[in-house]
Amino acid sequence: MSEYSEVDLEKFKHLLSERALIGETMVLNMGPQHPSTHGVLRLILELDGEVVVNCIPDVGYLHTGIEKDMEFRIYEKAVTMTDRMDYLNPLGNNLAYCLAVEKLTELDVPPRAQVIRVIVAELQRLNNHLLWMATMGLDFGALSVWLYAMREREFELDINELISGSRMMTSFLRPGGLWRDVPVEFEDMVRHYLGMLPRRIDQYEALLTKNEIFLDRTKKVGIITKEQCIQQGVTGPILRASGVAHDLRKAQPYSGYEQYDFIIPTRPEGDVYARYLVRLEEMRQSLRIIDQGLKKLPYGPVRSNNRKIVPPPRSEIGVSMEALIHWFKLWTEGFPVPKGSVYATTESPRGELGFFIESDGGTKPYRIHVRTPSFEIIEAMPIMMRGHLVADVVAIIASTDIVLGDCDR
């Protein structure tokens, strides 16, 4: 039985300390099926009693070859693959992909589509942070936070369902705009959500922020410094919780983010508690952005009228021969894209999400690579864990807010 129960030390020899090899410290396997690893993350922990000496993350259990798969789809159809990477931020992934294709084809996006894109992207951020708070509460033993946050997340999923017909795999944003205009109920639903959520966030704060047990488990736990974050390429709320006010929505604005008034929350500590506070404040800022977006939501088309790239509306097919030809060509052959490569980035709830697309002039992407934020965060996890107790490992994983679908692709 020994080969089943023990970690193969030979394989990780160069990563473990000498004490592990002579049996002084224990090498413990955690995951990939552990309920607290947020997906299928496997950690190999080297323990000295209860203290973590080293940690070796092992990823790839959710690798589905999405990059390869996208090479065999036309640009319009490859959108569906992007939903399936980071399943808590599907519309944000659509957005990053569409920005890359639009950069490559120099396609314009109408103002109404831009504003709706911003609104749905911020709704996704709320969705993600709510689920993060729910699972973090669960990991700390605060079951009520899980129930409350999941309840609010349900409203957000209802909005997804309203606009796209699907609660998670939306594929709502397309190169050149949106799949279709939002229904008339959209504005009311989002306003209702905006009216409800600020008070609910206050309620979560009342449950957690000054909770003695919560503070004991989060303060001075899992510290990562500014320099370490930069070295490891960690972006997003973790970088901001370490004192760097960096947000791509401000640094390299896309989709008209420069017109919105919001602040970048930062904390200097870099521990689990700081990340909690930063994400909480980010939720409030997202609400502000959505509010501003709704106030200035213009009327007009939601798709570019470049008929060589964007399929014409269904209503024209019956009366226009050109529209029918374009419809047929665009959905079978796809649109050709100029030769070259671009790297487009957005600020996903986890950090910098970048799409590298190389085109050979054909209708299918020659090579797509996705720079996903979770990958770097998991790589930096050993830094946060060294010297902490096994019980804190769960807290640290929860605070990093990783999605393994995002990491493994």
Partner 1 sequence: MDELLQAACAAIQVRYDADLQEFRGEYTLFLTPETVVDAAQTLRDEFTFEMLMDVTGVDYWPQLEPRFHVVYQFYSLNHHQRLQFRVPLNGNAPSLPSLAGIYASANWREREVFDLMGIYFDNHPDLRRIMLPADWEGFPLRKDHPLGYEEVQFTFNVDEINKRKRKPGRYEK
Residues that bind partner 1 (CB under 8 A): 11, 14-15, 59-60, 63, 65, 67-69, 72, 103-104, 106, 230-233, 244, 246, 251-252, 340-343, 352, 354, 356, 358, 366-367, 369, 371, 375-376, 379, 408
Question: Which ranges of 296-345 would DSSP assign to H, the alpha helix?
Answer: 314-317, 321-332
- Rounded Cα distance between 333 and 74, Å, is 7
What are the C-alpha distances in Å from 244 to residues 237, 247, 383? 10, 9, 18
| Residues with Cβ within 8 Å of residue 141, at least 6 apart in sequence | 213
Cα–Cα distance between 266 and 242 in angstroms, integer? 7
CB nearer to partner 1: give 112 or 240. 240
| Residue with Cβ nearer partner 1 (307 or 371) | 371
In whole angstroms, give the CA distance from residue 42 to residue 57: 6
Pick between residue 71 and residue 205 the one whose CB is nearest to partner 1.
71
Find the helix or strand (DSSP H, E) in which 119 lies: helix 111-139
Q: What is the smallest separation between the CB atom of 218 and partner 1, expressed in angstroms?
A: 26
Q: Which is nearer to partner 1, 230 or 294 (CB)?
A: 230
Which contacts of 268-271 are long-range, i.e. CB under 8 A and separated by 24 or more positions?
268/242, 268/243, 269/220, 269/223, 269/241, 269/242, 270/223, 270/224, 270/225, 270/226, 270/229, 270/241, 270/242, 270/243, 271/218, 271/219, 271/220, 271/221, 271/222, 271/223, 271/241
Q: In whole angstroms, what is the distance from residue 84 CA to residue 225 CA?
A: 32
Give the nearer residue to partner 1 in terms of CB position, either 67 or 181: 67
Which CB, 233 or 301, lies closer to partner 1?
233
The H or E element containing residue 189 is helix 185-208
Closest approach of partner 1 to the CB of residue 43, in Å: 15
Q: Quick one: 156 or 406, whose CB is closer to partner 1?
A: 406
Least gap, CB of 227 to partner 1 (angstroms): 9
Largest CA distance in the chain: 80
Q: Which is nearer to partner 1, 25 or 345 (CB)?
A: 345
- In the complex, what is the shortest distance from the CB of residue 226 to partner 1, in angstroms, rounded to a whole number? 10
| Minimum distance from residue 178 beta carbon to partner 1 (Å) | 23
Q: Tell me which residue of 234, 235, 288, 242 sits closest to 266, measured CA to CA.
A: 242
Q: How far is the CB of 90 from partner 1 (least distance, A)?
A: 21
Q: From the CB of 385, what's the least distance to partner 1, in Å?
A: 16
Alpha carbon 341 to chain centroid, angstroms:
23
Closer to partner 1 at the Cβ: 14 or 199? 14
Q: Rounded to the nearest whole angstrom, what is the least distance from the CB of residue 250 to partner 1 in the complex?
A: 9
Q: In this complex, which beta carbon is closest to partner 1, that of residue 69 or of residue 108?
A: 69
Q: How far is CA 342 from CA 31, 49, 358, 366, in A?
A: 37, 49, 7, 12
Min CB(360)–partner 1 separation in Å: 9
Structure tokens at 107: 């396609």
Tokens 């609660």 sit on residue: 167
Q: How far is CA 75 from CA 54, 175, 353, in A?
A: 43, 8, 18
3-state helix, strand, coil in the chain (%, to 5): 50, 10, 35
Distance in Å, CB of 400 to partner 1, minimum: 15
> Cα–Cα distance between 144 and 227 in angstroms, integer?
36
